[in-house]
C-alpha cells in the first residue's frame, strides 16, 4: 500500500464550500475500475458511495441519446472490428477539428447496439480492460433506469451530472440534443430541480437555451487557456476561456447557470516542477455569484498526479490522490469529479468508505 502523502499547506486562508459536504462525482462512472460509460461502471461507482454520476451524451442518426464521451466510437468500442460497419468510416470536422473514425450520428441505435465497450487506457488500467466486451453502449434511458434501480437498492438517492457533447455540431445536422434530453428525463420523472439532475456543457448556448425551458441546475464547463467555447467561435464572439473566468465572465455565466465545472489547474495550478501550487482565487470569486465549483478530473495514477504526490512504481501505479483531494477541499470546491471514487469518498467524508470494497 502506498503511504498517504501530505498535500502542500495552502499559503492563504482556506475558502469555504457553498455546500455542507462537497460532492464526490464518478467521472463516466467508476472509470478507473470499469470501461467508461457502461452500466457496470455506474453501478460500481454507486457501490463505492458516490453522491453523483457524471455522464456524457451524444446522439445517434435516429435521434437517440447514448452515453459516450466522444461521438467517434473507435477509442472506447470494438467498432473497427465490425466489417458490416466499415462503410461508415469517414472524416468529420467536429468543433473545428478533423476527426476520422465511426460517428454516432452516422449510425442508427440498432447499429450502435452491435458494439462492445472497451477500456480507453488498457496500458494504465489492465483490471478495467479485463472487462472489455462484457457490455455495450447504453442509451440515456437505460442509464436513468439502471442508476435509479441501483440507488433504490442501496436505499439512497444518487444525482446525475449530464454533459451535452458537441451540441452545435449535432444541431447543424438536424439532431438537436435538448428535446430528447428533456423527453428522457420527463419519462423518468426527473425533469424538475428536485430530481438531483444537473446539465453541463462546454458550450454556452445550449445552457442558455435550457435556462429558458426548464429549472434544472445548469453547469458551465470551463477549460484553461486561450481557446474558447465552440458556439462562441461560431458566432464570432471573441471571448476566450480566460475571459469567462474574469469577473465580467463569471457575472455573465451567473445570469443563466448555477455552477461551474472547471479544469483542476484553474483552482490548483502546478508549478514548473509539476508540484501542486497555491490555490487561485477562482473559487472565492465564483462563490460571490453563488456559483458552485466542481473540479475535473482527479485520477489516482501517477501519470495524472502532481509530482510531489506520485507514489512508487510506474505511471500506472497509484499515488497520493487523497492528499490532492484534501488540497482541493481546502480551496473550497463544492465537488470533485474523479475516475477513482474509492480513493476520494473516504478523503471527503473523513469517516472511512461509505461503499463496498469492489474487486
Respond yes or no on whether the N-terminal peptide bond of residue 247 is cis (omega within 30° of 0).
no
Residue 125 counted as domain residue: no
Residue 87 counted as domain residue: no
Full domain range(s) for residue 34: 23-71+133-349
Give mean pLDDT in consecutive 10-residue pieces for the chain, a chain of 359 residues: 42 69 96 98 98 98 98 98 98 97 98 98 97 98 98 96 98 98 97 94 98 97 95 97 98 98 98 97 98 98 98 97 96 97 92 42
Residue 13 counted as domain residue: no
Residue 84 counted as domain residue: no
Number of domains, the chain: 1
CATH number for the domain spanning 137: value is 3.20.20.190
Residue 124 counted as domain residue: no
Q: Where are the alpha helices (DSSP H) in the chain?
A: 39-47, 109-112, 126-129, 140-154, 167-172, 178-187, 205-211, 230-234, 241-244, 247-253, 282-288, 321-330, 341-349
Residue 119 counted as domain residue: no
Residue 341 counted as domain residue: yes
Tell me what pLDDT residue 5 has.
Answer: 44
Tell me what pLDDT residue 11 has.
Answer: 39
Q: What's the length of the chain?
A: 359
Tell me what pLDDT residue 8 has.
Answer: 45
Say if strands 90-94 and 218-222 run parallel, antiparallel, or are unpaired.
Answer: unpaired
Residue 284 counted as domain residue: yes
Amino acid at each position: 500500500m502506498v503511504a498517504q502523502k501530505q498535500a502542500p499547506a495552502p499559503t492563504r486562508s482556506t475558502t469555504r464550500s457553498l455546500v455542507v459536504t462537497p460532492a464526490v462525482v464518478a467521472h463516466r462512472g467508476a472509470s478507473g475500475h470499469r470501461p467508461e460509460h457502461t452500466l457496470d461502471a455506474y453501478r460500481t461507482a454507486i457501490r463505492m458511495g458516490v453522491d453523483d454520476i457524471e455522464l456524457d451524451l451524444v446522439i445517434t442518426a435516429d435521434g437517440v441519446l447514448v452515453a459516450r464521451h466522444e461521438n467517434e466510437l473507435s477509442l472506447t468500442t470494438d467498432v473497427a472490428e465490425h466489417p458490416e460497419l466499415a462503410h461508415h468510416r469517414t472524416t468529420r470536422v467536429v468543433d473545428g477539428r478533423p476527426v476520422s473514425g465511426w460517428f454516432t450520428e452516422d449510425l442508427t441505435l440498432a447499429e450502435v447496439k452491435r458494439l462492445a465497450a472497451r477500456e480507453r487506457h488498457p496500458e494504465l488500467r489492465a483490471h478495467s480492460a479485463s472487462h472489455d466486451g462484457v457490455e455495450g453502449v447504453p442509451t440515456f434511458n437505460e442509464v436513468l433506469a439502471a442508476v435509479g434501480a441501483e440507488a433504490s437498492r442501496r436505499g439512497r438517492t444518487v444525482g446525475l451530472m449530464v454533459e451535452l457533447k458537441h451540441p452545435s455540431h449535432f444541431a447543424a445536422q438536424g439532431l438537436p440534443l435538448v428535446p430528447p434530453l428533456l423527453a428522457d428525463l420527463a419519462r423518468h420523472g426527473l425533469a424538475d430541480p428536485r430530481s438531483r439532475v444537473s446539465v453541463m456543457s462546454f458550450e454556452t448556448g445550449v445552457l442558455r437555451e435550457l435556462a429558458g425551458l426548464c429549472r434544472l441546475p445548469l453547469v458551465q464547463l470551463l477549460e484553461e487557456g486561450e481557446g474558447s467555447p465552440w458556439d462562441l467561435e461560431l458566432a464570432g464572439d471573441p471571448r476566450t476561456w480566460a475571459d469567462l473566468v474574469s469577473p465580467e465572465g463569471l457575472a455573465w455565466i451567473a445570469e443563466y447557470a448555477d455552477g461551474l465545472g472547471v479544469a483542476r489547474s484553474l483552482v490548483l495550478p502546478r508549478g514548473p516542477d509539476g508540484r501542486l501550487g497555491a490555490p487561485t482565487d477562482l473559487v472565492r470569486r465564483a462563490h460571490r455569484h453563488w456559483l458552485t465549483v466542481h473540479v475535473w478530473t482527479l485520477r489516482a495514477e501517477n501519470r495524472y498526479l502532481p509530482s510531489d504526490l506520485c507514489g512508487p512504481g510506474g505511471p500506472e501505479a497509484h499515488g497520493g490522490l487523497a492528499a490532492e483531494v484534501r488540497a482541493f477541499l481546502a480551496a473550497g470546491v463544492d465537488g470533485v469529479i474523479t475516475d477513482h471514487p474509492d480513493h476520494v469518498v473516504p478523503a471527503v467524508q473523513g469517516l472511512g468508505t461509505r461503499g463496498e470494497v469492489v474487486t
